[in-house]
Amino acid sequence: MQKQYTVSSSPHLRDNVSTRRVMQDVCIALIPAGLASIWFFGLRAAILIAVSVLSAVFCEWFYCKHAKKPIPVGDFSAVVTGLLLAYNLPASAPWWLAAIGSAIAIVLVKQFFGGIGQNFMNPALAARAILLASWATLMTAWVAPQGGNWLAGLTPAATDVVSGATPLQAEAGAYSLWDLFIGNCPGTLGETSALALLIGAAYLLFRRVINWRIPATFLGTCLILFWIQTGTFYSAEAGANSALYQLLSGGLMLGALFMATDYSSSPVTPWGQIIFGVGCGALLFIIRTFNSSMPEGCSYAILFMNVAAPLIERVTTPKSFGEVKSHA
Amino acid sequence: MANTRTFKGGVHPHETGNGKQSTNAQPVIDAKVPACVVIPLSQHIGAPCKCVVTPGQAVAMGQVIGEAGGFVSAPVHASVSGTVKAISSCVVASGQRVPAVVIENDFQDRWDENVKPRQNVGSLDAKQLLEIVRDRGIVGLGGATFPTAVKLAPPAEKHVDTLILNGAECEPYLTSDHRLMVEHAAEVIDGMLLEAKILNATKLLIGIEDNKPDAVAAMRQAAEGKNIEVVALPTRYPQGGEKQLIFALTGRRVPNGALPADVQTVVSNVSTAYAVSKAVRENRPLIDRVVTVAGRVKKPANLRARIGTPIYELVEACGGLEDGVRKVVLGGPMMGMAISSLDIPVTKSTGGLLALGEEGVHAQESPCIRCGRCVEACPMRLVPTRIDAYARRSQWEECSKLGTMNCMECGACTFVCPAKRELTQSCRMAKMGIRASAKKS
């Protein structure tokens, strides 16, 4: 009897890329921002990141085990969520806040809606919004960076903790453009260093994990709108009243490069991604400019657009190759 | 219209184990002719042939054994001389069982008396040439096996002015067209000019992927002074897709549901052109073809095999399979068909024979992560992930709205999917579902 071979549908070759590899790439891309946060905010940043990641992975495992679903921990997507959640916390946040945040992100936002690929909002951002509403004081207790002071905030010495205003709240001249670029300013762990985020994003673009559409249109829209509104591209005296300063402040870089590009909650269609990016930029501009009680606006801008993503995708389904214009 | 020279979408399977280099420098060699050939009577798209031989009858090489069963059909010829042993059936690549003629080889290779060089080729008109192509059983050798005589006779109101030869050979591993262009450039060009005469086409283009510089050079040399443009195209799958190739070379878009003739174009494969040349010059019917045998075989090669040769003979000719072969594919790895056993005959559509190991056996599917890679890859600009979601729920109407019928099943979406989802299979399912529900209503 002749040997029987596997019969299946073509194609018979597959690319090397896998979900796990994609998620690992995102983790690698987030390393520079993590290192920057540890440098500027000390080892407590490392503790928050570790707690957040462990909590995310544990919650994913725990939920899937008890919901009798396949356990997807090996795909690294929970690690990404844990990292992003930590990057959205201020350095002064207690460790349990990180643990709760990750649990919300994984269980409530991701798994309740069907797991990977099904969450209609970015899990880390939705969790951040919930934490912000529930523990507003803890979530906005900004501390000044102390580059190289590993034990900042971990010793009882009162001088260790210096509260600080974020660049968007601070007076003009408090932070130089260079400070904003390298991340030497108060803010959440992962958002402050534009440099580290850009290095990570460059890696993701190089690995083709993300494409240019959402980050470029998001950042571009913000830059143009703030430039029009303030009339200043950049000047040291203008502070937050200049386009470049706005671009490098707050969660914009982290949001545009790593949050808005979340696969599940952004459109898959090319034009949809462009509309999504422009929408994020416009909403962020509106929130920062017209809502005085909320100087930051990145999370909400992205969350709003997340909800709109399915609709955007529906109206931007590409015309198939060979679809002829109807001459009605 | 400007030459755009490429198309939107596509993938680079060549970067992940291309496999072409194992055979692309090897001259085509004649495969051992087997003691017994099994010739299916349906080797083309269209009506099956009517068998015109009886068991026990002596047949000459090139003698008609199956007559065309309709307008869209092509006759089948004996690929060896000998005796008809049986009229039975055999399993072909698609898994279907079809009627077949079994011929015992007498190893005389005695040609049918009709097969002899033709002297008056120059004086033949289009109609006579077309009749030869029809009579000699020529079908599209790129894989689809559409009867060439039908393709070369588009309705006059289409005003076909352009003939494109497809030498892209964009499937990984396959090099049979490549070798043919290098070794028989003159005959390929000759066949093209004959096809052009039949069509009365004046604009002649040949598209070849730029990973075959020697083929491009050979074809350019052979085409010199003949008003044929040989174009090197970027190496990207599926560059050889009919609609993609037409767009790349002429900028014309074939409308959905329409044929190339609707944009005044006909596309023919290079090996088809070669067969046309042989048919016209020597009255030689299509009784053999070049098969690339590659992958996990001990000595990969390009073999010229008689139609009806069992696949296992080709495998043996290449030193046998390596250990760990899990899948055998007829055709290329992107669009070929997996076969369950090697006891299947070579037909007019068999361009490749590929042995794959574990890499050809599909990984476990995982949930879609909505990365959009399939959307970027689809050369027909569809949204495979959404078609997949609807197809799995049997929502054929939604699939239809998403343009699923335009899918050509090239496999690019499945190839790039990080979640290893069977997107192409879903599209196939959806196409069947749409057709079935259209029939019902």
- pLDDT tens string B9-67: 888 886 555 678 888 888 999 999 999 999 999 888 888 899 999 999 999 999 999 99
Flag whether A13 is in a domain. Answer: no
Q: Give the C-alpha distances (Å, rounded to integers) separating B245 from B8, B102, B270.
A: 11, 38, 13
Q: Give A6→chain B minimum CA distance, Å.
A: 5
How far apart (Å, rounded) are the C-alpha atoms in residues A14 and B15?
11
Write phi, then psi, for B375 (nearest 5 degrees): -70, -40
* CB contact (8 A) between residue B411 and residue A4: no
How far apart (Å, rounded) are the C-alpha atoms in residues B333 and B169?
12
Write phi, then psi, for B156 (nearest 5 degrees): -60, -30
Q: Give the C-alpha distances (Å, rounded to integers) separating B62 from B29, B106, B188, B307.
A: 20, 14, 21, 11
- Separation of first and last alpha carbons in chain B: 42
* CB contact (8 A) between residue A14 and residue B363: yes
Flag whether A186 is in a domain. Answer: yes
Closest of A132, A130, A127 to residue A103, by C-alpha: A127
Flag whether A153 is in a domain. Answer: no
How do residues B361-417 score in pLDDT, each as one tens digit?
877 899 999 999 999 999 999 999 999 999 999 999 999 999 999 999 999 999 999
Both tokens of A315, joined, read 């109206």
Question: Which chain B residue has its CA at the smallest distance from A17's CA?
Answer: B418
Beta pairing partners, B111? B61
* CB contact (8 A) between residue B360 and residue A12: yes
Closest of B297, B368, B440 to residue A75, by C-alpha: B368
Flag whether A10 is in a domain. Answer: no
Q: What's the pLDDT score for residue A325?
A: 53
Q: How many domains does chain A have?
A: 1
Flag whether A228 is in a domain. Answer: yes
- Is the Cα dihedral B248, B251, B254, B260 positive or negative? negative
More confident residue, B1 or B108: B108
Beta pairing partners, B305? B289
How far apart (Å, rounded) are the C-alpha atoms in residues B37 and B252?
43
Flag whether A80 is in a domain. Answer: yes
Q: Give A2→chain B minimum CA distance, Å.
A: 7
How far apart (Å, rounded) are the C-alpha atoms in residues B134 and A59?
68
User: What is the arrangement of strands in the sheet containing B265-269, beginning at the earlier edge strand?
Assistant: B228-233, B203-209, B162-167, B265-269
Determine contact, residues B398/B382, Cβ cutoff 8 Å. no
CATH code of A92's domain: 1.10.3430
Closest of A294, A276, A285 to residue A226, by C-alpha: A285
Closest of A183, A260, A262 to residue A218, by C-alpha: A260
Q: What's the pLDDT score for residue A210?
A: 95
How do residues A114-172 score in pLDDT, each as one tens digit?
999 999 999 999 999 999 999 999 998 888 888 878 887 777 654 556 677 788 887 77
Would you call A188 helix, strand, or coil by DSSP? strand
CB contacts of A310 in chain B (<8 Å) are none
- Say how many residues make up chain A: 328
Kindly give the residue spans of alpha helices, DSSP state H, lying in B95-184. Answer: 126-135, 148-151, 176-183
How far apart (Å, rounded) are the C-alpha atoms in residues B409 and B426?
10
How do residues B87-104 score in pLDDT, each as one tens digit?
999 998 888 899 999 999
How far apart (Å, rounded) are the C-alpha atoms in residues B135 and B360?
39
Write phi, then psi, for A220 (nearest 5 degrees): -65, -45
State how far Cα A299 lies from the chain centre: 8
How far apart (Å, rounded) are the C-alpha atoms in residues A52 and A83?
7
Question: Which chain A residue has its CA at the smallest distance from B380's CA?
Answer: A321
Parts of chain A with a pLDDT under 50: 1, 158, 326-328
Write phi, then psi, for B219 (nearest 5 degrees): -70, -40
Q: Give the C-alpha distances (Å, rounded to integers) separating B202 from A231, B160, B194.
A: 60, 9, 12
How far apart (Å, rounded) are the C-alpha atoms in residues B127 and B125?
6
- Separation of first and last alpha carbons in chain A: 63
How do residues B421-440 score in pLDDT, each as one tens digit?
999 999 999 999 999 998 88
Flag whether A85 is in a domain. Answer: yes
Q: What's the pLDDT score for residue A168?
A: 84
- Suggest the residue from A15, A22, A274, A316 to mutate for an interface test with chain B (most B CBs closer than 10 A): A15
CB contacts of A263 in chain B (<8 Å) are 369-372
* CB contact (8 A) between residue B361 and residue A6: yes
Q: Omega into B285 within 30° of 0, i.e. cis?
A: no
Average pLDDT along chain B: 92
How do residues B210-227 score in pLDDT, each as one tens digit?
999 999 999 999 999 999
Give Rg (Cα) of chain A: 21
Instruction: Give the residue carrying structure tokens 């495979």.
Output: B384
Average pLDDT rounded to a whole number, residues B315-339: 93
Q: Omega into B13 within 30° of 0, i.e. cis?
A: no
How far apart (Å, rounded) are the C-alpha atoms in residues B8 and B380?
8
Flag whether A283 is in a domain. Answer: yes
Q: What's the pLDDT score for residue A328?
A: 37
Q: How confident is the model at residue B338 (pLDDT cuts 50, 70, 90)?
A: very high
Whether B330 shows a pLDDT value over 70: the answer reads: yes
Q: Give the C-alpha distances (Å, rounded to integers) separating B109 from B33, B34, B287, B297.
A: 10, 12, 12, 29
Whether B148 shows a pLDDT value over 90: the answer reads: yes
CB contacts of B341 in chain A (<8 Å) are 2-5
Interfacial residues of A (vs B; Cβ cutoff 8 Å): 2-19, 21-22, 72, 75, 77, 114-118, 211, 263-264, 266, 268-270, 273, 317-324
Share of chain B above pLDDT 70, in %: 98
How far apart (Å, rounded) are the C-alpha atoms in residues A100 and B27?
67
The range of the structural domain enclosing residue A125 comes to 19-146+161-315
Nearest CB to B370: which of A4, A268, A318? A268
